[in-house]
């Protein structure tokens, strides 16, 4: 397992760093691929949840499956198709820096429609109905969140000697990635060696309180360090790191909860040793928009 993880990282990290450096359509293309893969995995997860046997996971609050619900099965398939389209087009919209506000309004409206479906399904909705809902909201939200990588790359960077050769915006996007990588690594290493108290065993049995604290500390240190190189004030860098250390773990736990509900171990198998793109980028999905709005509103980037 470790060897597979290392080999995947050896290939994936240089590709990611190159896309961050080059930006533009190179980054947009990579983000679109990740968005499409993420939507495919989300469809797989929700389909697995809809096909569960009645009462298979009652202890986890799973809802009873309904074998024949053509309307909601059809809705889920349509939402997946819409998600593919969004995943392909949104990075291009943000890269062109035109129409992004209109796209966000459309996403918000679509999410509201999805929530309306949830209310219409009623409190005793079936697993198929909830599957359609989760896919519908995810079809809009998942691609939208990952495209914030493109938006981060578009922010103006304050160059510093060590970062002088980086194009504008690359520093901020790298900072968001570095915070996620550092937090994941620290949580895994500390949790495996010193972890004693479970963080949320019903959702993610492997995560520990000690690992979560280590992830938070690592996010603060790494974000403050790389932020300082980009001339971000130390206080703002530490504040951003603390927020990312929390939101990243929330994103990770949310994806774990979704998988637990559906009864699947990994979101996919596209990344050997890591699982699927949702397994690898769940923290970034939560952190990218947070970093973007933090840097724009508080740091004035």
Question: pLDDT by residue for the chain (301 residues), tens digit each?
Answer: 556 666 777 878 899 999 998 888 889 899 988 888 888 888 777 777 666 544 444 334 333 444 445 666 676 677 777 777 778 888 877 776 555 666 666 666 666 665 555 555 544 456 666 666 677 677 777 888 888 898 888 887 554 445 556 776 888 999 999 999 999 999 989 998 898 889 888 888 888 999 999 999 999 999 999 998 888 899 999 999 999 999 999 989 888 888 887 777 777 777 765 677 888 888 999 999 999 999 988 877 7
Q: Quote the pLDDT of residue 35.
A: 86
Phi, psi values for residue 15, rounded to 5°? -65, -45
pLDDT of residue 86: 78
Q: Which domain holds residue 256?
A: 2-297
Report pLDDT for 66.
Answer: 41
Buried-exposed string 39-57: b where 16+ CB fall within 10 A, e elsewhere = bbbbbbbbbbbbebeeeeb
* Among 212, 209, 206, 204, residue whose Cα is nearest residue 259: 204
Beta bridge partner(s), residue 275: 271
Q: How far is CA 29 from CA 22, 90, 101, 267, 300, in A?
A: 11, 10, 21, 22, 28
The confidence score (pLDDT) of residue 160 equals 46
Count the domains in the chain: 1
Per-residue pLDDT at 295: 92
Nearest to 57 by CA among 201, 202, 206: 202
> Could you give the CA distance from residue 201 to residue 238 in angstroms, rounded to a whole number?
29
The pLDDT of residue 250 is: 92
pLDDT at 51: 62
pLDDT of residue 161: 43
């Amino acid at each position: 397992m470790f060897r597979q993880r290392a080999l995947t990282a050896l290939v994936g990290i240089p590709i990611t760093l190159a896309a961050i450096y080059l930006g533009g359509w190179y980054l947009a293309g990579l983000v679109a691929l990740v968005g499409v893969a993420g939507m495919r995995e989300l469809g797989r997860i929700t389909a697995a949840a809809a096909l569960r046997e009645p009462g298979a996971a009652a202890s986890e609050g799973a809802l009873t499956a309904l074998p024949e619900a053509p309307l909601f099965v059809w809705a889920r398939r349509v939402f997946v198709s819409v998600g593919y389209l969004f995943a392909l087009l949104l990075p291009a919209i943000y890269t062109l820096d035109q129409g992004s506000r209109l796209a966000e309004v459309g996403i918000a409206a679509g999410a509201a429609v999805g929530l309306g479906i949830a209310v219409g399904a009623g409190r005793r909705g079936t697993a198929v109905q909830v599957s359609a809902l989760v896919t519908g909201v995810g079809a809009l939200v998942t691609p939208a969140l990952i495209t914030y990588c493109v938006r981060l790359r578009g922010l103006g960077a304050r160059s510093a000697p060590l970062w002088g050769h980086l194009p504008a915006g690359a520093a901020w996007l790298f900072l968001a990635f570095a915070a996620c990588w550092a937090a994941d690594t620290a949580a895994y290493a500390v949790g495996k060696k010193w972890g004693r108290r479970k963080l949320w065993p019903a959702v993610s049995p492997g995560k520990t309180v000690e690992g979560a604290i280590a992830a938070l500390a690592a996010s603060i240190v790494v974000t403050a360090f790389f932020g300082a190189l980009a001339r971000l004030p130390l206080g703002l860098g530490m504040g951003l790191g603390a927020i990312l250390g929390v939101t990243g773990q929330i994103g990770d736990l949310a994806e774990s909860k979704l998988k637990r509900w559906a009864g699947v171990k990994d979101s996919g198998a596209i990344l050997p040793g890591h699982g699927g793109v949702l397994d690898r980028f769940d923290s970034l999905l939560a952190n990218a928009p947070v970093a973007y709005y933090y840097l724009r509103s508080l740091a004035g980037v």
